[in-house]
Amino acid sequence: MERIRKALEYANRDRPPGAEKQGADGTVVGDFTAGLRYTYTKVVEVPHRVMLENRLIAAVPSHEFKDAYRMLRTRVLQSLRDNNWNSVAVTGPASGCGKTLTAINLAISLAMEVTHTVLLVDLDLRKPSVHQYFGYQPEAGLSDYLFRDVPVHQLLFSPSIERLVVLPGREEVQNSSEMLRSPKMVALVNELKHRYPDRLIVFDLPPILAADDALAFAPYTDAMLMVAEAGGTSREDLQKAIAVLKGVPMIGTVLNKAHAARRKPAYYRAQGAKA
Amino acid sequence: MAYDIAIPEEHSKSLQDYLDAFRRRGAFAFKIALAVLVLGLVVIFLWPNSYKSTATILIEDPEVPPGLVPTTVTTFAARQIQYINQRVMTRTNLAEIIEKFDLFQKQRRYLPTLMLVDEVQKFISIDLVDVQLADPDRPSQLINSTIAFTLGFEHPNPEVARKVTNELVSLYLNENVRARTEQTAQTSEFMQAEVNRLDTGVREIEGQIAKLKQENEGSLPQQTPVNQQMLQRADQELLDIDRQIRALSESRVLVDAQLAQIEPMKTMTMPDGRGVAPPADQLRALQSQLAILEGRYSPDHPDVQRIRRDIEALQLEVGNDVRPENSAAQLADLRGKLAMARERYSDDHPEVARLLRQIASLEANRAAVPAERPNRSREEPNNPVYIQVQAQRKNLDIQEATLRGQRAEVQARIAQYEKRIGASSEVERELSALMRRLETASASYQAARGRLFTAQMGQALETQSKGERFTLVEPPDLPLQPSSPNRPVLLALLAVLCLAIAFGLPQFAESMDSSVNSARAVERVQGSPPLAEIPLIQNTEDMTHKRNMRLYALVFAPVAMIIAAVLVHFFVINLDVAWYVALRRLGM
In the chain, the amino acid numbered B518 is S
| DSSP conformational letter for B568 | I
Neighbouring C-beta atoms of residue A73, cutoff 10 Å: 22
Whether residue A82 has pLDDT greater than 90: yes
- Closest CB to A234 among B20, B514, B536: B514
Q: What is the pLDDT of residue A2?
A: 59
B181's enclosing H/E stretch is helix B158-215
Whether A42 contacts chain B with CB within 8 A: no
pLDDT at A67: 85
Alpha helices in B3-123 (DSSP H): 15-46, 77-88, 91-101, 105-110, 117-123
Question: For strand A117-122 and strand A157-158, is the pairing parallel, antiparallel, or unpaired?
Answer: unpaired
Range A267-275 contact pairs with CB under 8 angstroms and sequence separation of 24 or more = A268/A67, A269/A64, A269/A67, A271/A67, A272/A62, A272/A64, A272/A66, A272/A67, A272/A70, A273/A62, A273/A64, A274/A62
Query: What is the pLDDT at residue A17?
Result: 46
Of A95, A68, A90, nearest to A260 by C-alpha is A68
Residue A269 pLDDT grade (very low, low, confident, very high; cuts 50, 70, 90)? very low
Choose the closest CB to A53 out of B528, B535, B541. B541
Exposed / middle / buried, residue B366 (Cβ in 10 Å: 0-12, 13-18, 19+): middle
Does A100 contact B at CB distance below 8 Å? no
Spatial CA neighbour of B97 closest among B79, B78, B128, B123: B123
3-state secondary structure of A119: strand
- What does the pLDDT read at residue B347? 79
Say what the pLDDT of residue B566 is: 87
Per the rule left: phi > 0, alpha: psi between -120 and 50, beta: everything else, B273 is left
In sequence order, which ranges of chain A are alpha helices (DSSP H)?
2-11, 26-36, 48-53, 66-83, 99-111, 130-133, 142-148, 152-155, 176-181, 183-195, 213-217, 235-244, 266-274
Instruction: Report the amino acid identity of residue B175.
Output: E
Q: How confident is the model at residue A174 (pLDDT cuts 50, 70, 90)?
A: confident
Q: Across chain A, what does the average pLDDT equal?
A: 81
Give B-chain residues touching A53 at CB under 8 angstroms. Answer: 539-541
Compare CB distances from B516 to A71, A225, A230 and report the shortest one's residue. Answer: A230
Contact A167, A145 (CB under 8 A): no
A68/B contact by beta carbon, under 8 A:
yes
Inform me whether the C-beta atom of residue A253 falls under 8 Å from chain B C-beta atoms.
yes
A65 with B528: Cβ contact below 8 A = no
Q: A235 in contact with B at a CB cutoff of 8 Å? A: yes
Length of chain B: 588
Q: Do B517 and A230 touch (CB under 8 A)?
A: yes
Find chain A residues with C-beta within 8 A of B543's C-beta. Answer: none
CB atoms within 10 A of CB A181: 15
Question: Which residues of chain B are under the pLDDT cut of 50?
Answer: 1-11, 322-324, 371-377
Computed on alpha carbons and rounded to an integer, the radius of gyration of chain A in Å comes to 18
Helices (H) and strands (E) in chain B, counts: 17, 7
Cβ-based contacts of A258 with chain B (< 8 Å): 518-519, 533-536
Share of chain A above pLDDT 70, in %: 80
Look at residue A267 in the predicted model and tell me its pLDDT: 54
Q: Is A194 helix (H, G, I), strand (E, B) or coil?
A: helix
Would you state the pLDDT for residue B345? 82
Which chain B residues are within 8 Å of A52, Cβ to Cβ? 539-540
A88 phi and psi angles, rounded to 5 deg: -140, 135
A235/B519 CB distance under 8 A: no
- Give yes or no for a contact between A205 and A223, defined as CB atoms under 8 angstroms apart: no
What's the rounded Cα separation, in Å, for the pair B38 and B454? 69
Alpha-carbon gap: B480 to the closest alpha carbon of chain A (Å)? 53
Q: Are B147 and B136 in contact (CB under 8 A)?
A: no
Confidence bin at A10 (pLDDT 50/70/90) = low
Rounded to whole angstroms, the Cα distance separating A60 from A73 reads 15
3-state secondary structure of A140: coil
**pLDDT for residue A204:** 94
Query: For residue B13, what pLDDT is reported?
Result: 64
Sign of CA dihedral B97, B100, B102, B108: positive
Which of A142, A130, A128, A140 shows the shortest CA–CA distance to A179? A142
Task: Please give the Cα distance from B241 to B410 (Å, whole number).
Answer: 9
Query: pLDDT band at residue A13, thresholds of 50, 70 and 90?
Result: low
Distance from CA of A107 to the nearest CA of B (A): 15
Q: Whole-angstrom Cα distance, residue B412 to residue B51? A: 105
Instruction: Pinpoint the alpha helices (H) of B384-512.
Output: 384-463, 487-512
Determine the 3-state secondary structure of A125 from DSSP: coil
Q: Given A55, A251, A260, which is nearest B518 (Cβ)?
A: A260
- For B531, which of A251, A259, A262 is closest by C-beta distance? A251
Q: Which of B524, B525, B533 sits opposite A258 (nearest CB)?
A: B533
The predicted complex's ipTM stands at 0.74
List of residues 6+ apart from B180 with CB closer than 8 A: B73, B462, B467, B468, B469
- CA B122-B123-B128 angle, 5° bins: 90
HSE (side-chain half, CA atoms, 13 Å) at B474: 11
Rounded Cα–Cα distance for residues B588 and B577 (Å): 14
Q: Which residues in chain A have Cβ-Cβ distances shorter than 8 Å to B521?
A: 235
Helix, coil or strand: residue B120: helix
In terms of Cβ atoms closer than 10 Å to its own Cβ (0-12, 13-18, 19+), residue A189 is buried
Tell me, what's the pLDDT at B520? 80
- Does B534 contact A256 at a Cβ distance shorter than 8 Å? yes
Q: How confident is the model at residue A11 (pLDDT cuts 50, 70, 90)?
A: low
Q: For the residues A13-39, what does the mean pLDDT come to?
A: 42
Q: Which of A57, A225, A229 sits opposite B537 (nearest CB)?
A: A57
B45-77: b (≥16 Cβ within 10 Å) or e: eeeeebbbbbbbbebbebebeeeebbbbbeeeb
pLDDT at A4: 62
Q: pTM value?
A: 0.51
Rounded to the nearest 10 degrees, how much is the dihedral formed by the CA atoms of A118, A124, A125, A129? Answer: -80
For residue range A103-119, what is the model confidence (pLDDT) as tens digits? 999 999 999 988 899 99
Closest-approach residue (CA) in chain B for A76: B531
The alpha carbon dihedral of A177, A178, A181, A183 has a sign of negative
Q: What are the distances in angstroms from CA A146 to CA A152, A201, B278?
A: 10, 19, 214
Which of A226, A235, A251, A256 to mutate: most B Cβ within 10 Å?
A235
- Which amino acid appears at position B340 of this protein? M
B36 min Cα distance to partner chain A (Å): 24
Distance CA A211, CA A214 (A): 7
Please enumerate residues of B whose Cβ is less than 8 A from a Cβ of A: 9, 20, 23-25, 513-519, 521-522, 524-526, 528, 530-537, 539-541
Q: Return the CA Rg of chain B.
A: 68
Read off the pLDDT of each residue in A60-89 and give the average, rounded to a whole number.
89
Buried b (16+ CB within 10 A) or exposed e, A56-69: bbbbbeebbbbbbb
Cβ contacts of A68 on chain B, cutoff 8 Å: 532-535
For B436, how many CA atoms within 13 A lie in the half-sphere containing its CB? Answer: 6
Q: Which pLDDT does position B5 carry in this prediction?
A: 46
Q: How many CB pairs under 8 A join A and B?
A: 118
- Residue A72: its pLDDT value, please? 92
Residue A257 gets the label, from left (phi > 0), alpha (psi -120 to 50) or beta, of: left
A81 vs A76, B79, B190, B212, CA distance in Å? 9, 94, 116, 144
Beta bridge partners, B472, equal B57
Round to whole Å and give the CA distance between B588 and B583.
Answer: 5
Taking contacts as CB-CB distances below 8 angstroms, the residues of chain B near A233 are: 515-516
Determine contact, residues A126/A209, Cβ cutoff 8 Å: no
**Distance from C-alpha of A274 to C-alpha of B415, rounded to nearest angstrom:** 161
| Residues forming a β-bridge with B421 | none
Nearest to A72 among B513, B522, B534 (CB): B534
Bridge partners of B125, per DSSP, are B152
